[in-house]
Amino acid sequence: MAGYFDVETTHGDALVTKQGDYLSFIRVGGMKRIATRKDIERLAEALRVELSGTLENKGHAIVGWYLSDPEMAEWEIERVSLASCRKVGKELGLDLGDLLDERARLWSKTMRWEASCLILWTRRAVLTKEEVKQMKEERASAARECPSIGDAQRFFMRSELMAAHHDGFVSRVSQALRGIDVNATEMSAREALILAREAMYRETAGSAWKPTLIGDKVMARMPDDDVKKPSREGLLWPSLRSQFFHEDAVTIGGQAVELGAYEYAPVDLMIGPEDPRPFVELASTLGQDRVPWRCCFILEGGGQTGMALKEVGASFLAIFPQNRDLQRGFAALRAAREESNHISVKLRASFATWAKAGETRALRRRASTLAQRIEGWGGCKSARIAGDPLDGVMGTVPGIALASTGNPSLALLGEALPMLPWNHTISPWSEGSVLFRLPSGAIWPYDPAGGSKRPVVIDVFVAPPGSGKSVIANTINLGLCLSSAVLGGANPKLPMIGKLDIGPSAEGFVRLIREKLGPEREHEAIYVMMQFAAGYEFNVFDLQVGCEDPLPLERAFLETFLSLLTLPADTSKPFEGVTQMIKLVVDEAYRRCKDVPGGTPKRYVRGVEPLVDAAIANHDIQIHSEYPIWRDVVTALCECGQYRLAEIAQRHAVPVLEDLIVAARSEQVVDLFESLKIDLTAETASQLFDRYIRDAIRRFPTLNQPTKLDFGSARIIVLDLQEVAPTGSAAANRQTEIMYLLGRHILARNFFLKPDYLRYVPEFVRPYHAKRFQEVYESVKRLDYDEWHRTKGSALVQAQAELDAREGRKHNVQLGFSSQRLGDMGDSILAQSTGRFILRVGDEKEAEQVIERFNLSEGASQVVRHGLHGPGPNGAPFLFVLHVDNAKYEQVLVNQLGPAELWAHSTTPGDSALRNRLYTALGFEEALRRLAAVFPKGSSLKEIERRKADRLKAGAMEAAAQAGVVDDLAAELIDGRGVALKLRPYERDGAELLAATQ
């Protein structure tokens, strides 16, 4: 086996062969955008121009190596995503082991591990005669100074002359790849050898093996006892070939070889394609076949020079038809060189597939599939017999030698370059807590936290109803909970996630988190359906505990909110002067709640807050006997360290809406605004303000009371605005706008805290808030808006969202906006967005709008027009347009979840009703287990519709039919009968046996 291994030692990141040649591995991630065949040909032409000078003569070679292995998908999935998710979940106390196991089982059946690289060779032929002479002298001198080292690495094979030529070649190829927007990274020598060994012995993939290289610490090896004069071999670094091979090969007939735990079969390219096509077309087809395979394409410079003898022979023997064809081929290549300076290269290609040892039939089937796909790739001709099968298989191991059993061809460089594995697509992240996949099955990790690659996270989700927007949004939020970003603090905590929902689209996500946290911590995730009823009171004038005035961003919100309250339903522009008046009224309202001259601080009343009363007694807090005020209670509780109770007490010390009426009548406000008339209503500004505030108190009584809607220490909060956000009339739309703005404040009032705000905080609570502000500032935070189209006509709500988008990066706040059409988002939000999820478009006009607005490439445009068909059995496809590291990515991805996770996130009314019934009857875990087993596609809609149709035919009312069907299905799942008979395998088998005998 050692005879197949040419690498002798290393020099920096390069490997050095025993002949003195240099080679380096360039890891090729692939392209950032979807490309059509024309796009790839255009990029290949740019590559040709850059590399023609290097490959015109002998001395340099480019080897394109690629591996696709569906069988290793489970290991790769665990490495790039699930292992980290398990660790984070354990640190957070979030027990998601069953869900992650389900992902591993599902994804390993649809995803595949792929890797590709370009191996750049620089051979001694690049040297001039003088350089060859100089290199020989250097090597001879080094060899004389070096004692006998036996089989140790011959480090004196290094050459600074060769290294200089090689570094220039590597730099040129790397820059050329980056110039066409292809991700390319030079691998270290250690990484290259690990990759080569894992490619050769597939069972070693992911192992801890590392080669011992020059400079590494090495343990001395004792010579044999009978050796009288041992060499220095035992003190130096062992040869790489002795480290690389750990098992011999056994040939099986003339077409296969057993190597380690696998049997391999080679397939050689005998005749190149008649119609050269991009490599991605071959990889995608074989990816869908789920065949493990690898390949090596060798492009050597000076191709036409190497074929000169054959060209002369073809000319002499032109009387034979085949030679006339060769003569015409050489003439065409010569014409291309003369007319467009298009050089030719020597091209060889070898392929291999494998199966576990003993699975010879599977290996033959895979080799046959591989050969057929190669021959369908532009009309190639392949051969499954390589003379010696071990030669053929070793020709597909990267970097060990520049050798191949493939038939050499002479190809135009511009036609050969697209055949190399650089034109598939990639993810900017090597790991991520969310895994999508390409339609071909390639793994595409996604980090929802963004990290240093994506400091601004503003996502927009566009699709008609039923396209999977809610599911993918829940997937990202769950991924955020499992992201390593939550481990940044001393004590790992859930991320702070707030979502304004219309309907229960995120109820399943919250229920999942609550169940996995357990009873003791379920309060950290809350789902609330907002109502205008007792228990839902919320006062927008609440302050940070101990403060007497709002922080800057809180003040800005109050001004925006009150401006919206004082607007007519059919307009979006505040009346002249009212905005200035609101600022003064807010200041006056807070001033009157303080214990200052002219102020009327709110009086403490025993019995209003029993917990506060008990704390006053327990801590022996002395308060003013004649006129006790809540503000004194707040201060005293803070001094005792009872900040939670102080926050409750403070809710009674701040203004409410009706206090604004009195504040607006103060002398300071009246003096400035009594002469300001509103032309539209013939009122003064004070009268108009008074009227609108009274109307708001009447319509929204829960806004005029001290806060009772208490989320405590919840980190994940979903507010469902379905009951309080109507549509249809101008007044209803205005109420929806108000609720969106209020909901945003409820969820995110603490998202924008930062240490700089400590200067606005009183001294006695500054130590408490210093720690709190810092913790919040460093936490990952996300604010999602569902059904964003409901705010389309509200300039003030849009302005608040745009402000949050601009300020989000400074506060580590992510934003997400979901809507049915692109035009609902607003141009400013679209312009600032860094992640665009297009799951489907409503019609052709919408498709063209998306294409134009996002400036999509032709490949992505075709996907938007024809490739987005909504969720299916194999997941929900979507186009992801992403801005990362100042680069634009366009990818077609698939979000695929397991049945239990789909059931947990389901928002379809019928499925949700069935799931909730089973939650009540069976509990969370058992309900999902049964639903996933009986309905593995994640939905029971087809069964519900079938049964509902039968009931309607029998004369039942539609609502009763729907409810009755869901009740029947729930009963069957609970009892294990009917459609749920499969939950009783022994009874099912017996029933099938009985039916068969009858």
Specify the residue for token string 């604010």: 783
Which of these, 218, 215, 197, lies nearest to 206 by C-alpha position?
Answer: 197
For the ranges 50-54, 223-227, 440-444, which has the lowest average pLDDT? 223-227
The pair of structure tokens assigned to 375 is: 């021959």
Q: What is the pLDDT of residues 658-667, one digit of tens each?
A: 999 999 998 8
Q: How far is CA 254 from CA 265, 385, 788, 862, in A?
A: 10, 7, 65, 46
Per-residue pLDDT at 306 exceeds 60: no
Q: Is the pLDDT of residue 882 over 70?
A: yes
Confidence of residue 678 (pLDDT cuts 50, 70, 90): confident
Is 705:539 a contact under the CB 8 Å cutoff?
yes
- Separation between Cα atoms, residue 134 and residue 127, nearest integer Å: 10
Whether the predicted pLDDT of 324 surpasses 70: no
What pLDDT does 504 receive?
87
For residues 82 and 59, give the distance between their C-alpha atoms in angstroms, rounded to a whole number: 45
pLDDT class for 991, splitting at 50, 70, 90? very low
341 — pLDDT class (breaks 50, 70, 90): low
Stretch 713-741: mean pLDDT: 90
End-to-end Cα separation, the chain, in angstroms: 63
3-class SS of residue 589: helix
**Arithmetic mean of pLDDT over the chain:** 88
**DSSP for 322-335, written as a single string:** HHHHHHHHHHHHHH
Q: What is the 3-state secondary structure (H, E, C) of 796-860?
A: HHHHHHHHHHHHHHHHCEEEEEEECCHHHCCHHHHHHCCEEEECCCCCHHHHHHHHHHCCCCHHH
CB atoms closer than 10 angstroms to residue 249: 18
Cα 635 from chain centre: 46
pLDDT band at 308 (very low <50, low <70, confident <90, very high): low
What stretches of 146-188 show up as alpha helix (H) in DSSP? 160-179
Q: Among residues 800, 783, 953, 937, which one has the least CA distance to residue 871?
A: 937
CA angle 633, 634, 638 (to 5 degrees): 115
Instruction: Give the residue, 686 or 680, on which the prediction is more confident.
Output: 686
Per-residue pLDDT tens over the stretch 178-215: 999 898 999 999 999 999 999 999 888 888 899 999 88
Amino acid in the structure at residue 36: T
CA nearest neighbour of 684 among 700, 697, 692, 673: 673
Give me the pLDDT at residue 745, please: 92
CB 815, CB 805: distance < 8 Å? yes
In this prediction, residues 14-32 reach a mean pLDDT of 93
Q: What is the mean pLDDT of residues 933-943?
A: 89
Gap between the Cα atoms of 635 and 650, Å rounded: 9
* Residue appearing with tokens 């292995």: 69
897-923 pLDDT, tens digit each: 999 999 998 888 888 889 999 999 998
CB 279 within 8 A of CB 68: no
Give the mean pLDDT of 444-467: 91
What is the model's pLDDT at position 990? 45
How far is the C-alpha of 974 from the C-alpha of 922, rounded, in Å?
7
Question: Per residue in 426-437, is it b (16+ CB within 10 Å) or e — as a string?
Answer: bbbbeebbbbbb
Residue 947 has pLDDT above 50, yes or no: yes
Q: Of 388, 437, 21, 395, whose CA–CA distance to 199 is shortest?
A: 395
pLDDT surpassing 50 at residue 502: yes
Q: Mind listing the pLDDT tens digit for each residue in 561-613?
A: 999 998 888 787 778 888 899 999 999 999 999 988 888 999 999 999 999 99
Say what the pLDDT of residue 997 is: 44
At 625-635, the pLDDT tens digits run 788 999 999 99
At 387 the three-state DSSP class reads: coil
- With contact defined as beta carbons under 8 Å apart, do 928 and 905 qualify? no
Average pLDDT over every residue of 645-654: 94
Nearest to 888 by CA among 437, 454, 440: 454
Please report which confidence band the pLDDT of residue 783 belongs to, taking 50, 70 and 90 as the band edges: very high
Has residue 792 got a pLDDT over 90?
no
pLDDT at 325: 63
Give residue 996's pLDDT.
Answer: 47
Residue type, 198: E
CA separation for the pair 873, 892 (Å, rounded)? 17
Max CA pair span of the chain: 123
Q: Helices in 869-940 by DSSP H: which ranges?
A: 899-905, 909-922, 924-934
* Cα(608)–Cα(117) distance, integer angstroms: 71
Confirm if 73 and 113 have CB atoms less than 8 A apart: yes
pLDDT for the residue 994 = 44
pLDDT on residue 673: 83
Q: Quick one: average pLDDT of 343-350? A: 91
- Which two structure tokens, joined as six digits, stand for 907? 């928002």
Q: What 3-state class would DSSP assign to 97?
A: helix
For residues 152 and 220, give the distance between their C-alpha atoms in angstroms, rounded to a whole number: 12
C-beta atoms surrounding 129 within 10 Å? 7
- Give the whole-angstrom CA distance, residue 822 versus residue 789: 9
Strand, coil or helix: 719: strand
Cα 675 versus chain centre, distance: 58
**Pair of tokens at residue 741:** 């703005």
pLDDT digits (tens, 9 = 90+) for 850-870: 999 999 999 999 999 998 988
Spatial separation of the C-alpha atoms in residues 285 and 373, rounded to whole Å: 8
How far apart CA 407 and CA 346 sit, in angstroms, is: 10
**CA atoms of 249 and 393, how far apart (whole Å):** 10
Q: Give the torsion sign (CA, 471, 472, 474, 478).
A: positive
What pLDDT, on the 0 to 100 scale, is given for residue 433?
A: 95
Token pair in block for residue 469: 């927007």
pLDDT at 24 over 90: yes
pLDDT at 684 over 90: no
For residue 467, is pLDDT > 60?
yes
What's the whole-model pTM score? 0.89
Give the residue-averaged pLDDT of 102-124: 94
Q: How many CA atoms does the CB half-sphere of 437 hold within 13 Å?
A: 27
Q: How far is CA 439 from CA 105, 452, 458, 863, in A?
A: 18, 28, 25, 12
- pLDDT tier, 322 (very low <50, low <70, confident <90, very high otherwise): low
Phi, psi of 817 (to 5 degrees): -130, 125
The helix-helix angle for 578-592 and 657-664 (nearest 10°) equals: 110
User: 3-state DSSP call for residue 355?
Assistant: strand
In degrees, rounded to 5, the angle at the alpha carbon of residue 426 between the alpha carbons of residues 421 and 429 is 135
Q: How far is CA 899 from CA 104, 208, 319, 933, in A?
A: 13, 35, 68, 8
- Which token pair is 970? 């729930």
